[in-house]
A and B are shown apart, each in its own frame.
Chain A
């Protein structure tokens, strides 16, 4: 049987996370007419840890909640809907990385929210050693940064990074630093954990693409021009329909890829690359369409549509970038790649 719908239990997880976020991290938190708001999401870390989110996919005997990557992806999608800080998303992957070196106490500290994790975004770094230039996103208070490049992943201590300096972030709601990892630390080789990063980024991007769709639909119903709601014009209506189609395609593929990954299916890599590409496409195209649907308001920095486009660029640098997925999808995959997962 193939079932891509969340079970009742999964539905409960979604609801607890989404209702928490609706109360404490509504998308409107990122706008203010006068101030440029820098993300305060780090302050939610303990509360989000309290929901069990950071250990949701970690086995119970290792101190986690005992679900898997499917539940992580459902949470990531909710994070994406409100453009929660990418560093909190990395909080779900970090315990798994800590466990590769059997560091149970570190994994525990991350899951409890005691230790903050930052999000590294690759500028140019070696997939052999992770050495190279990185951006750090919302990572100022983080003790550890999650870096992921190719098949290599690791948690690097804040003190191991040379010359951290502030740079002007394209998305002013995200704090951005530039740094270099010059030597020492090398991380571990784990195609599986890197794919986990990619898939959670994909789920996050789908959530954001879905939120952009909803925002456009809501606006198209209330904004009137020519004495009618703009949603009655086919240009706008069709754009909204395309936005939905892109999100549905991206979520379906992401859900399928997540299950293929969980089952260690032969075609897991292929499914994951396809999920990443469709979700990136969905967020970039829906982000742009959402701006267009809002007209002048969409171009302002006072409303939220622009943040979806910008978030697309940031998420694209965590894990594999769009261009990498495109090249990878032309590669050879194990037989069965185009059929049903070998459950």
Chain B
């Protein structure tokens, strides 16, 4: 046990801080709408040009090849600088790209990896289906081999940013009659292929926020050369990159959450109390709520450090679920408290730097990426070794 910062790491931090200071976009990222794609790609391009793109990707594939400690520093500084989240570049950078690195062919890598890094292509993730959410491996969108193509029929849902995406990582049932994890394939789907139809779905955050889509496939032809990994072994491909960044990617979210809590403390000091007397922070339930959040935010950061150092260069595995579980619930609590502090102003979505928008967004954090219930099941079974429930 030790905390030791090398001179190289200190220098790296200074370099990152300097660059971010003069390059983080001055305008806020749009909450929703068509401006999102351009904004995210521009920001990605800017990082690419300065050599920061793919911070965790190996240098051989065009990434920065940063060490774990450097990644940590990058994400910390990134959040402290108020840099925008990767948004619709997220799937390409943190999931599709790393999957291609792990399982793709030379051609697949050569074509796609530079486009992701340069901010030229947006990827989305087509895993969940209307009848297969928590129980992902029951998925039924099917593809049959026809000559040198797969022909896809079915539907995916909750596909974030599908309307902005050029490519989709698509998990399909390619063996007729196969069950559960067997007979699935991980496929690169060109979103402009004929037969694809999108239905954008409004979220609860605002009437303008169509964050995700239902995607319909009607005889969509995908070349067999777009299968990543082996045909019929898509489950292994899908799992190859779980925890790719070994938890460092979440650091930025966590620090932004800490920043939010600090901001709420200031706000509670400056806003008049609920009954006009004193300020909000004089209210004991606000004060204790904020204090507890500050402690939790500190603990989450330490948990992330602990899980990264435990994992070393390995995948943090199911223990990553612990951080996600706690983080998402603490973030929700912080957002709920922000509404108490906002008081009557909280009824207006436009006010106060998107606080209301992000409060509403926080309801997704215990659902997306595997619900908190599923995280608890994973912790119970895979970390604690409790008897198994229905097969996860």
Contacts and interface: CB of A to CB of B under 8 A. Distances in A.
Contacts of A227: 135, 138, 390
Interface string A189-224: 000000000000000000000000000000000001
Most buried by A among B131, B133, B207: B207
Given A36-B207, A321-B343, A324-B274, A301 B202 contact: yes
A288 B347 contact: no
B202 A300 contact: yes
B134 A295 contact: yes
B283 A301 contact: no
A226 B135 contact: yes
B353 to A, nearest CB: 14
A292 B348 contact: no
Contact of A135 (B347, B349, B372): B347
Interface in B269-319: 272, 274-276, 283, 285-286
Interface string B129-140: 001111100100
Nearest to A296: B158
Nearest to B208: A36
A104 B145 CA distance: 80
Interface string A317-343: 100011110110000000000000000
Given A236-B373, A291-B363, A301-B202, A121 B207 contact: no
A265 B363 CA distance: 41
Given A168-B348, A226-B390, A296-B133, A309 B283 contact: no
A226 B391 contact: yes
Interface in A33-57: 33, 36
A299 B203 contact: yes
B347 A323 contact: no
A178 to B, nearest CB: 7
A168 B350 contact: yes
Contacts of B348: 135, 167-170, 176, 178
Given A170-B349, A226-B390, A299 B204 contact: yes
B347 A170 contact: yes
A327 B344 contact: no
A306 B276 contact: no
B81 interface: no
B283 A323 contact: yes
A313 B350 CA distance: 16
B364 interface: yes
Contacts of A296: 128, 133, 157-158, 367-368
B367 A167 contact: no
A323 B135 contact: no
Interface string B363-392: 110111001110011000000000001110
A298 interface: yes
Contacts of B346: 170, 313
Contacts of B332: 288
A121 B347 contact: yes
Contact of B376 (A235, A295, A298): A235
Given A225-B135, A226-B135, A300-B201, A327 B274 contact: yes
B68 interface: no
A225 B391 contact: no
Given A292-B367, A295-B133, A295-B367, A326 B345 contact: no
Interface string A4-28: 0000000000000000000000000
Nearest to B392: A226
A123 interface: yes
Nearest to B128: A296
B233 interface: no
B196 interface: no
Contact of A323 (B132, B207, B274, B391): B274
A326 B134 contact: no
Interface residues of B, number: 51
B339 interface: yes
B252 interface: no
Contacts of A226: 134-135, 138, 390-391
A228 interface: yes
A36 to B, nearest CB: 4
Contacts of B360: 170, 306
Given A178-B348, A235-B373, A317-B344, A299 B363 contact: yes
Contacts of A305: 204
Contact of B347 (A169, A233, A300, A309): A169
A126 B276 contact: yes
B340 interface: yes
A295 B367 CA distance: 6
A317 B347 contact: yes
Contacts of B202: 33, 36, 300-302
B189 interface: no
B291 to A, nearest CB: 16
A122 B371 CA distance: 36
A314 interface: yes
A145 to B, nearest CB: 15
Contacts of B345: 123
Contacts of B274: 321, 323-324, 327
A123 B390 CA distance: 49
Given A124-B272, A292-B372, 18 more contacts: A123-B343, A127-B276, A170-B356, A176-B347, A176-B348, A228-B390, A235-B373, A291-B363, A291-B367, A292-B371, A295-B367, A298-B363, A298-B367, A301-B204, A305-B204, A321-B274, A321-B343, A326-B283
Interface of A: 33, 36, 121-124, 126-127, 133, 135, 150, 167-172, 176, 178, 224-228, 233, 235-236, 284, 288, 291-292, 295-296, 298-302, 305-306, 309-310, 313-314, 317, 321-324, 326-327
27 contacts: A36-B207, A122-B344, A126-B276, A133-B344, A135-B344, A135-B347, A150-B275, A168-B350, A169-B348, A170-B347, A176-B348, A224-B131, A226-B135, A227-B390, A233-B390, A288-B332, A291-B204, A295-B133, A296-B157, A296-B158, A306-B204, A313-B346, A313-B347, A314-B347, A323-B283, A323-B285, A324-B275
Interface of B: 128, 131-135, 138, 157-158, 201-207, 209, 272, 274-276, 283, 285-286, 332, 336, 339-340, 343-350, 356, 360, 363-364, 366-368, 371-373, 376-377, 389-391
A-B pairs with the 7 shortest C-beta distances?
Answer: A123-B344, A306-B204, A226-B390, A36-B207, A301-B202, A323-B274, A235-B373
